[in-house]
Structure 1
Amino acid sequence: MSRAGTGKETIGRWIRTESGSAVLLVLVAVVALVWANSTLSNTYFELWHVELGFNVGPFGLHMDLHHWINDGLMVVFFFVVGLEVRQEFAHGSLRDRSRVRLALIAGVAGVVLPAVVYVSIVAASGGEGLEGWGAVVGTDTAFLLGALAIVGPRLSGQLRVFLLTLTVVDDFLAVSIIGIVYSEEVRLIPLLIALGCLVALWALGRTRQWRAAPYVFIVVVLWFATVTSGVHASLAGMLAGLLIPAYATRRHKVVEARQLFRDFWQSPSAASARAVNRGLAQGISVNERMHEVLRLPTALLIVPIFALANAGVDLRGGVLADSFRSPVTWGVIAGLVLGKLLGIGLATFFAVRLGAGRLPEGVGMGSVFGGAALSGIGFTVSLLIISLAFGSTSELGRLATVGVLVAMVLATLLGWSIFKVAAKLWGEETADLPMLLTPPVDPEVDHIRGPEDAQLTLVEFVDFECPYCAHATGSWKDLRARFGDDLRYVVRQLPHHPHGPIAARASEAASNQGMFWPWLDFVFTRQHALERDDLIGYATDLGLDVDRFVHDLDSDEVRQRVERDLASAEASGAHATPTFFIQGRRLLGSYDARALTAALETSRRGTRTKQIPSSS
C-alpha cells in the first residue's frame, strides 16, 4: 500500500476519535466565520434561507434550510443522546445510585448557577437579552470529550465516565428547557399525536420488539407531529431515545447466532444468510444497534453541518468591539466559563465531603474542576438556544454567538491550566483506573499454563460464571495454537456473578490437589450448574479426594487465596470479567481472539525491537 493510502487511513481513523471530531468541529466553525466575513458573505446567509419542503396528500411541511438543520437534523443528535442515556441507565454508570446522586447534584448546579450568573449580569445592565439565559445551561458533549482527550490527563477514562454521567443530567435539563421555554405556540392535535407516539414507543419496548423498523417509523411520525405542534423537536428526539429499549447482550442469543452461522458455513444460501443476520440482531439490543449506526454520522456529518449553519457571525462593522461592551456577550462568557466551573466543581466537592455521592476510583478533585471548566464549552446547545431566543442573525444573536465562541476558547484554556496545576501540586497525572498489574506474576503463587519463562504473558481475571471469559469462548485455544510456548497464560480470580465466589473457592480447592487447570477446563463447559452439590459432583468426576475437597472449599486458606486475587483486581483496575493484562498492562477495548492476538503480536515485536542492539 502506498504511503498516501496509509496516510488517508490514519487521518480517517483519527477523525473518528473524540479529539479528531472536536478538531473537525473547530475547523468547520472557522470556515463558517471566514465565509460569513468574506466578500461571499451574502451567499452564506442566503443559503440558510432557501425554502425546502414536501407534500404527501393532505400533509406537508415547508421550512427554510436553517430550520431543517436545527429542527430536523439536530433531532437525530438529541435522539442519539437519548439512546446513550438509556444505555447508561440499563447497564452503565447510572446503575450506581451514588453516582446518580452525585451527577444529579452537580448537573443541576451546573445548569442553575450559569443561568443565575447570566441573568445577574444582563439584569444589572438594563435587562435587554434576558430571554437568552438558556444559552449558558448546556454543555457540548462531543466538544467536551474531544477537549478532554487533547488537554486532559494522559489517562482519563474514569474522569470521562464521570463527565459523561454528568452530561446526561445536563443534556436532559437543557433539552427540557428548549422544549418548554423556547417552543412556539402549541397546537393541541399534533401534540396529542406526538404523545401517542411516545406511548407507542413505550409499548413497543415492553414487547421486546427487536426489529428497528417499527421504532424508526414511530420516531419519524413523532418528529413530524412535534414540529407541527410548535414544541421544539429536540425534546421529542431525546424522549424517543430514552424509550428505545437497552439491555446487556444476551448470551443465549449469541450462542444461537453461532449455530446459525455454522449452518450458513455448511450450506450458504440467501435464506441462511438472513437467518444469521436476524440471529445477530436479536443478540444485541435495538438501542445499541441504532446507536452504532447513528453515532459516527451524527458526530462527523450532522453536528458539523449544524456548526456551519450557526457559527457564522458577521463581525464586520464593529460587531466584535460591540460584543466586548455588551452585557449579553459577557453574560454568556461568565455563565459558561465561571458558572460551569463553580457550579459543577463546588457542588461535586461539597456533595463528596458530605457523603451524598462518591467519585469514580482514580479521579481527584483537581481533575473534577478541570472537567468542570471544560463543561463551559456550550457550542451546539448554546447556538441552538441562541437561534431560538434571538435569531442567529439578529444583533443580540450575533453578540451571544461571539460569547459562545470566546467561552469555548477560554474554557479549554482554563481546563488545561487546572489539569496542569492538579498534576504538579496534587500528583493527579491520571484520572483513570490503574493500568499495571499489581502485584506482578509470581510463579510461586499464580496459576500458570505454559513455560514460566515464556516471552509473552497473558493474565486474565475470570469468573467461572462469566459467559465471555476466554475458556468459555474458546479464545485461549486459538491463542495457544498461534503462540505455542512463547506464551504463558495466567488466571486470577474475580468472582462477581452469583455463583462466582463458591466456584472460585472450588477451583482453589482443586488446585490444592494439583488439578487447577483440569478443573478450569472441565467446569467452564458447565457454567449453567455451579451449585455446591454440582461442584462436589465435578470433584468426583475428576477423581479428586472429595473429603479433602469439601474441607478445603470452606477453609480460611482458600478464602484468603481468592481474597488475594480480589485485592489484586482492585489494585490493577480490573472491575469486571474478563479483564486481560498483556505484559503486565491492562488491555483496553475488544478482547476477542483476533484482538488478543494483535495485541500479543504488537508486544512481541516491541520485545524483539528492544533486544536488537543499536548500531554505533
Structure 2
Amino acid sequence: MNTRRPHPDRRPGPRRLLTRTSWPEARFLADVLRTETVGGGLLLLGALAALVWANSPWSASYTALGGYVPWPGGAALHLDLPLATWAADGLLAIFFFVVGLELKREFVAGELRDPRRAVLPVVAAVGGMVAPALIYVAVNLAAGGAGLRGWAIPTATDIAFALAVLAVIGSHLPQGLRAFLLTLAVVDDLLAITIIAVFYTADFNPVPLLAALLPIAAFAALVQRRRTWWWALIPLAVTAWTLVHASGVHATVAGVLLGFTVPVLGDPRGTRGRPGQRAHPGLAEHLEHRWRPVSAGFAVPVFAFFAAGVSLRGADLGTVVTDPIVLGVVAGLVLGKTIGIFGSTYLLARFTRARLDDDITWPDLLGVALLAGVGFTVSLLIGELAFGTGSAADDHVKTAVLAGSLLSATLAAVVLSRRNRAYRAIAERDRIDADGDGIPDVYQHRPVER
C-alpha cells in the first residue's frame, strides 16, 4: 500500500517553509555536513586541550607558546606576530576563504538563488543577530556600559560546532531542517564578516587596501580562466592577505574577497544524462572540496586551541559570573539566538500565511534555534578584536562563549533528541529507491517548491 503523502505544492494551500531541497543539493549538503561534523569534533578536542593545558601546572608554557613570535623581523609589514595571532589572522583566512566560496555558491547556484527560498534563512539570520546584540547591549547599559564594545560577540553561530552536536543528537532529522541550519549559518557568516570589517577595523590605512586589489584582480583573472596553478594562486593570495592586514582591516576579509572571485557554474553540458544528474561542478565547488578539509580539520581547530585557553586558576568566580560582559554574552547566545531565529520565523509564517513543511514541526525549529546559540570561532575572534588578546575582559569573553555554547548545545540536545526518534521511520521511507536508478524516489515524486 502506498502511504506516501502528496507533496504540499501539488494541492492548493499556503506556501511551505523548510521544504526538501533538490537531490543534487541534498548530495552537496551531505558532503558539507560530513566534513563540518568531523571538523567540529576536532574543534572540540582543540578547545578541550587548551582548557586543560591552561589550567594545569604547566600553564606558563601554554601562554609562552601562544606568545612566541616566529618571524620577529616582519615589523615593516606588520608580520611580527605571535603564534596566537597567526592562528586568528592567518589560519582563519583559510576558513573565511571557504566561507566566501560557499556564500557565492549559495547565491549563484544554491538555496539563496531563489528569493522565495532565500527569504527565510536571511530573515532568521538577521533576527538571530539583532536579538543577541540587543540583549547584550541592554545588560551592559544597565551596568554602566563599560563593555558595550563587545556587542557583536553573541551574534555569530559556529557551524562546525553546531553540526557536530547535530550529528550526535539529530541523525534522523529532516534534510530540510539541516539545510536550513547550514544556509542560516552561511548568511550569519556574511553578516559577521561585514560587522568585523565595519566595526572592528582600527588604524585604517587605505593605501595597502587599494594595493591589495591588484593581487586580488590577478587571482580573479586566473580563476575565471580556470587556471588552478598553485604556484601562482597561493603567492597572490598571500600577497593580498599581507596588504589587507597592513591596511588595518582584519586580514580574514582577504579570504572572503578571494573566494568571491571564483566562478561557481561549471560546464552546462554536464547536465545531460539521467534525470536529476548533477551538473559538472564549477571551480568554486572544486576549490571548496580541496580547502574545506584544511579549514575544518586544521585551521579552525588550531585557532580554537590558541583562543580557548582561559585559565580559571585563582580566578574570582563570583566576579566572573557577575561581569556584565559574561552575562550579556551568555544571555545573547542562549536567549537572543533562540528568540531571534524562532521569533522571526514565526512572524514570517504568520504575516505571509506560510506553513512549515509537513515533515517539520515548530519544536524542531525551536531546537535548531537553540543550537544556533553555539557560538565559538567567530565569537572568540570578535572578543579578541573588541577587548584585546590576553586582556581580563577577553578572558571573561572566552569563559562566557564556552558557557553559553555548552548551555545552548545542552538545551538543543534535550529538544532535538526527543524529536529525532520520531523521524526514524521517515528517514527509512526517504531511502526507498524502487526503480534502482540511484536517486531516492522521494526526490523524483515530491518535487521541490517552485
TM-score of the pair, normalised by structure 1 = 0.61
* Residue of structure 1 equivalent to 2:386: 389
Change (3 A) 1:192 1:163: same
Aligned partners of 2:222 and 2:429: how far apart in 1? 42
SS of match in other structure, 1:62: coil
Question: Which of 436, 445, 450 is the matching residue for 1:458?
Answer: 436
Instruction: Tell me if structure 1 keeps the 8 A contact 2:327–2:400.
Output: yes
Is the counterpart of residue 375 in structure 1 residue 372 in structure 2?
yes
What's the offset of the Cα at 1:123?
1.2
Q: Percent identity?
A: 37
Instruction: Tell me if structure 2 keeps the 8 A contact 1:374–1:411.
Output: yes
Question: Which of 337, 341, 345 is the matching residue for 2:338?
Answer: 341
> Alpha-carbon deviations, 1:526-555, whole Å to 9, x = none?
xxxxxxxxxxxxxxxxxxxxxxxxxxxxxx
Instruction: Tell me if structure 2 keeps the 8 A contact 1:107–1:344.
Output: yes
> Alpha-carbon deviations, 1:387-406, whole Å to 9, x = none?
11112421111111111001
What's the offset of the Cα at 1:141?
0.9
* Residue of structure 1 equivalent to 2:360: 363
Aligned partners of 1:312 and 1:429: how far apart in 2? 39
Instruction: Tell me if structure 1 keeps the 8 A contact 2:77–2:242.
Output: no
Aligned partners of 2:439 and 2:256: how far apart in 1? 38
> Alpha-carbon deviations, 1:371-425, whole Å to 9, x = none?
111111111001111111112421111111111001111111111122245569x
* Residue of structure 2 equivalent to 1:166: 184
SS of match in other structure, 1:53: coil
What are the residue-to-residue correspondences of 1:555-574 with 2, within 5 Å?
569-570=445-446
What's the offset of the Cα at 1:304?
0.9
Instruction: Tell me if structure 1 keeps the 8 A contact 2:35–2:293.
Output: no
2:395 maps to amino acid: R
What's the offset of the Cα at 1:198?
4.3
Name the Cα RMSD after superposition. 3.3
* Residue of structure 2 equivalent to 1:78: 96
Aligned partners of 2:442 and 2:167: how far apart in 1? 33
What are the residue-to-residue correspondences of 1:426-575 with 2, within 5 Å?
435-437=430-432, 458-459=436-437, 569-570=445-446
Question: Which of 312, 316, 320 is the matching residue for 1:315?
Answer: 312
Change (3 A) 1:200 1:26: same
Instruction: Tell me if structure 1 keeps the 8 A contact 2:172–2:423.
Output: no
Instruction: Tell me if structure 1 keeps the 8 A contact 2:54–2:309.
Output: yes
Higher mean displacement: 25-34 or 334-343: 25-34
> Alpha-carbon deviations, 1:247-280, whole Å to 9, x = none?
145446999xxxxxxxxxxxxxxxxxxxxxxxxx
Aligned partners of 2:389 and 2:72: how far apart in 1? 25
SS of match in other structure, 1:52: coil
Structure 2, unmatched stretches of 5+, are: 1-32, 274-278
> Alpha-carbon deviations, 1:181-220, whole Å to 9, x = none?
1122111210111234445555555x54343545444322
Higher relative contact order (CA 8 A, sep 6+): 2
Change (3 A) 1:460 1:388: closer
2:128 maps to amino acid: G
What's the offset of the Cα at 1:155?
3.3
* Residue of structure 1 equivalent to 2:29: none
Instruction: Tell me if structure 2 keeps the 8 A contact 1:159–1:360.
Output: no
Instruction: Tell me if structure 2 keeps the 8 A contact 1:363–1:432.
Output: no
SS of match in other structure, 2:67: coil
* Residue of structure 1 equivalent to 2:157: 139
Aligned partners of 2:91 and 2:298: how far apart in 1? 10
Aligned partners of 2:442 and 2:419: how far apart in 1? 35
Q: Size of the alignment, in residue pairs?
A: 411
* Residue of structure 2 equivalent to 1:300: 297
> Alpha-carbon deviations, 1:492-541, whole Å to 9, x = none?
899xxxxxxxxxxxxxxxxxxxxxxxxxxxxxxxxxxxxxxxxxxxxxxx
1:403 maps to amino acid: A
* Residue of structure 2 equivalent to 1:125: 143
2:436 maps to amino acid: L
* Residue of structure 2 equivalent to 1:44: 62
* Residue of structure 1 equivalent to 2:170: 152
Instruction: Tell me if structure 2 keeps the 8 A contact 1:136–1:335.
Output: yes
* Residue of structure 2 equivalent to 1:209: 226
What's the offset of the Cα at 1:48?
1.3
* Residue of structure 1 equivalent to 2:118: 100
* Residue of structure 2 equivalent to 1:408: 405
Question: Which of 130, 133, 137 is the matching residue for 1:115?
Answer: 133
Instruction: Tell me if structure 1 keeps the 8 A contact 2:93–2:251.
Output: yes
Instruction: Tell me if structure 1 keeps the 8 A contact 2:35–2:296.
Output: no
* Residue of structure 2 equivalent to 1:22: 40
Aligned partners of 1:423 and 1:398: how far apart in 2? 36
* Residue of structure 1 equivalent to 2:244: 226
* Residue of structure 2 equivalent to 1:499: none
Instruction: Tell me if structure 2 keeps the 8 A contact 1:16–1:296.
Output: no
Change (3 A) 1:392 1:197: same
Aligned partners of 1:113 and 1:376: how far apart in 2? 12
What's the offset of the Cα at 1:139?
0.7
SS of match in other structure, 1:180: helix
> Alpha-carbon deviations, 1:562-600, whole Å to 9, x = none?
xxxx6xx11xxx769xxxxxxxxxxxxxxxxxxxxxxxx
Instruction: Tell me if structure 2 keeps the 8 A contact 1:362–1:432.
Output: no
SS of match in other structure, 1:323: helix
* Residue of structure 2 equivalent to 1:353: 350
SS of match in other structure, 1:324: helix
> Alpha-carbon deviations, 1:125-166, whole Å to 9, x = none?
111211111111111111111111112252342211111111
Change (3 A) 1:96 1:361: farther
SS of match in other structure, 1:316: coil
What's the offset of the Cα at 1:109?
0.8
Change (3 A) 1:60 1:144: closer
TM-score of the pair, normalised by structure 2 = 0.82
In proportion to residue count, which structure has more strand? Answer: 1
SS of match in other structure, 2:430: coil
What's the offset of the Cα at 1:27?
2.2
What are the residue-to-residue correspondences of 1:588-607 with 2, within 5 Å?
none
Change (3 A) 1:110 1:39: same
Aligned partners of 2:392 and 2:110: how far apart in 1? 43
Aligned partners of 2:394 and 2:366: how far apart in 1? 30
Instruction: Tell me if structure 2 keeps the 8 A contact 1:78–1:234.
Output: yes
SS of match in other structure, 1:48: helix
> Alpha-carbon deviations, 1:326-348, whole Å to 9, x = none?
11111100001110011011101
1:367 maps to amino acid: D
